């Protein structure tokens, strides 16, 4: 298990508190109201914990959920969404009373759900094998598809405060990882590749705050970065020493509370950070 210090230094982040330790690889984490929802690879149940007390709550069993790879939630609709890798997207009510195999609606609509994010009631899906971003409304109807450049192998994407899309991806031409902003036509507006001495490693997950700042899980560099809305590096929120060289895998920022949930797949834990 990783051990975090009781006080982080002058990076604007307070104590990292352990939320839970699980027996399976953590692949996604989200929070809806006072409940934290966690999915683990090849485990069909959604783990639930109280955000305030960290008490274990009743799991939600999703029958036929095979490979949960990410999870996101929508406060306006009280729904949780799960990417079942290579298969579909599940929609689950916050209490687990309504569970639906939701998207795709037609067998002919083939894409591989990889990562998810929610802005307002819009669900943004990063497709693993089609080099696209797919956006759906609360009814599951497709709003738009964004075709990314051919060299862009997407890891995760979020909608920005201005309606563009922030994408963490591999640049297969340059053989490096980047965070890019693209418009609705898929045209690249700006990019961040790290520094010359320390380029980005695999970036499996990103998150945004209400000001458009972007949190980046820089997995193999064992750190979490904060970029501004122009994709300029502000600072390292948590570095490799503070993470004891463990690798962050998934993020969820709670705007109302200023808290960042961080899931670590390899060691099956979730931590909570207070972020200023």
Mean pLDDT by 10 residues, the chain (276 residues): 44 70 95 97 96 97 95 97 93 97 84 92 91 95 95 96 96 96 97 91 96 97 96 92 90 94 95 86
Q: Which CATH architecture has domain 16-275?
A: 6 Propeller (2.120)
Q: Please give the Cα distance from 5 to 100 (Å, whole number).
A: 42
What's the pLDDT score for residue 15? 63
Domain residue limits, the chain = 16-275
Q: pTM of the full predicted structure?
A: 0.93
> Given the DSSP bridges, would you call strands 142-147 and 152-159 parallel, antiparallel or unpaired?
unpaired
Asked if 262 contacts 248 with a C-beta cutoff of 8 angstroms, the reply is: yes
Using DSSP's 3-state secondary structure scheme, residue 180 falls into strand
What's the pLDDT score for residue 275? 84
- Kindly list the distances between the CA atom of residue 180 and the CA atoms of 22, 155, 170, 183, in Å, as whole numbers in the listed order: 33, 11, 10, 10
Partners of residue 91 on adjacent β-strands? 81, 100
Paired tokens of 258: 């200023």
Paired tokens of 242: 């503070």
Partners of residue 54 on adjacent β-strands? none
Q: Please give the Cα distance from 197 to 183 (Å, whole number).
A: 29
Of residues 90, 52, 57, 56, the one with CA closest to residue 72 = 90
Asked if 4 contacts 267 with a C-beta cutoff of 8 angstroms, the reply is: no
Asked if 225 contacts 219 with a C-beta cutoff of 8 angstroms, the reply is: no
Paired tokens of 41: 């690879």
Paired tokens of 226: 């904060």
Q: Please give the Cα distance from 264 to 179 (Å, whole number).
A: 20
Q: Which residues contact 38 (CB under 8 A, 6 or more apart)?
A: 20, 22, 26, 28, 29, 46, 47, 48, 49, 71, 263, 270
What's the pLDDT score for residue 74? 97
* Backbone phi, psi, residue 118, to 5°: -125, 130
Q: Which residues contact 131 (CB under 8 A, 6 or more apart)?
A: 147, 148, 150, 152, 153, 154
Torsion-angle region of 138 (φ positive above 0: left; ψ -120 to 50: alpha; else: beta):
alpha
What's the pLDDT score for residue 86? 80
């Amino acid at each position: 298990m990783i051990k975090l210090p009781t006080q982080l230094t002058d990076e604007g982040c307070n104590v990292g508190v352990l939320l839970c330790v699980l027996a399976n690889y953590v692949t996604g984490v989200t929070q809806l109201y006072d409940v934290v929802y966690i999915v683990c690879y090849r485990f069909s149940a959604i783990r639930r914990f109280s955000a305030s007390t960290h008490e274990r709550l009743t799991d939600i069993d999703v029958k036929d959920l095979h490979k949960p790879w990410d999870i996101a939630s929508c406060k306006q609709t009280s729904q949780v969404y799960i990417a079942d890798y290579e298969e579909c997207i599940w929609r689950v009510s916050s209490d687990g009373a309504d569970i639906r195999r939701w998207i795709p609606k037609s067998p002919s609509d083939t894409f591989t759900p990889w990562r998810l994010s929610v802005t307002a009631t819009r669900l943004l899906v990063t497709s693993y094998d089609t080099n696209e971003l797919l956006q759906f409304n609360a009814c599951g109807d497709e709003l738009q598809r964004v075709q990314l450049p051919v060299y862009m192998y997407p890891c995760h994407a979020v909608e920005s405060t201005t309606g563009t899309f922030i994408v963490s991806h591999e640049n297969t031409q340059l053989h490096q990882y980047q965070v890019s902003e693209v418009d609705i036509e898929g045209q690249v507006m700006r990019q961040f590749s790290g520094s010359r001495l320390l380029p980005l490693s695999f970036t499996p997950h990103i998150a945004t705050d209400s000001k458009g700042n972007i949190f980046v899980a820089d997995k193999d560099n064992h750190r979490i970065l904060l970029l501004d809305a122009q994709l300029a590096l502000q600072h390292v929120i948590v570095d490799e020493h503070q993470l004891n060289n463990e690798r962050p895998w998934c993020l969820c920022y709670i705007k109302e509370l200023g808290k960042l949930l961080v899931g670590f797949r390899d060691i099956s834990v979730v931590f909570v950070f207070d972020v200023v």
